[in-house]
Amino acid sequence: MHLIVSCSLNKNSKSKILANYASTLYNQEVKFLDLQTMELPFCDGDSCYDNPKVKELSNLVKESKSIIIASPIYMYDLNAAAKNFMELTGRAWTKKVVGFICAAGGKGSYMSVTSYMNSLMLDFRCIVVPRFVYTDRSGFDENYNIKSNIKERIEELVDQITLLSSKIDH
């Protein structure tokens, strides 16, 4: 099973549109987690790990062959919900193949995903697909349809993440 986690809490989220498109591209089982629909605790490094929903999500992460994080860019980083998700599920990420889809307000924040990536690589020895998807409003037409160049980037990401994860011993 491959996992996509949509982290935006905005009901008009653009990263969620991109994540939804990604979910249509797998020829294997894919599970779509939408953090808008979940009541999760903030990570306190203590009792949050006893929360049944947190346990369920940790198991999902652990059982997944790959994970795509779809997130807004907030303050030159992924949003707090994405960070909280990683803090809550922690060790379950060990050695996972991970990809990123980001929606931003402008082009200048394209390196914002690096600190999240570094944490995954250094803390949990994840393998990060280097070709992540990043776009601002220009990646969509006036009806919020994804433009073809961004669709191609998402297709490439899903191809690479499924290929790479198939080579890893899970």
Note the residues at the interface with ligand FMN (CB under 6 A).
8, 10, 13-16, 72-76, 103-106, 109
The span from the CA of 111 to the CA of 55, in Å, is 31
Which are the contacts of 22, defined by CB distance < 8 A and separation ≥ 6? 4, 68, 70, 101, 154, 157, 158
- Minimum Å gap between C-beta 93 and ligand FMN is 22
Cα separations (Å) of 2 from 13, 135, 144? 22, 23, 26
The span from the CA of 167 to the CA of 2, in Å, is 14
Q: Nearer to ligand FMN by C-beta: 127 or 150?
A: 150
Q: Nearer to ligand FMN by C-beta: 92 or 113?
A: 113
Q: Nearer to ligand FMN by C-beta: 35 or 54?
A: 35
- Minimum Å gap between C-beta 15 and ligand FMN is 3
- Minimum Å gap between C-beta 13 and ligand FMN is 4
Beta bridge partners of 100: 69
Q: Nearer to ligand FMN by C-beta: 36 or 51?
A: 36
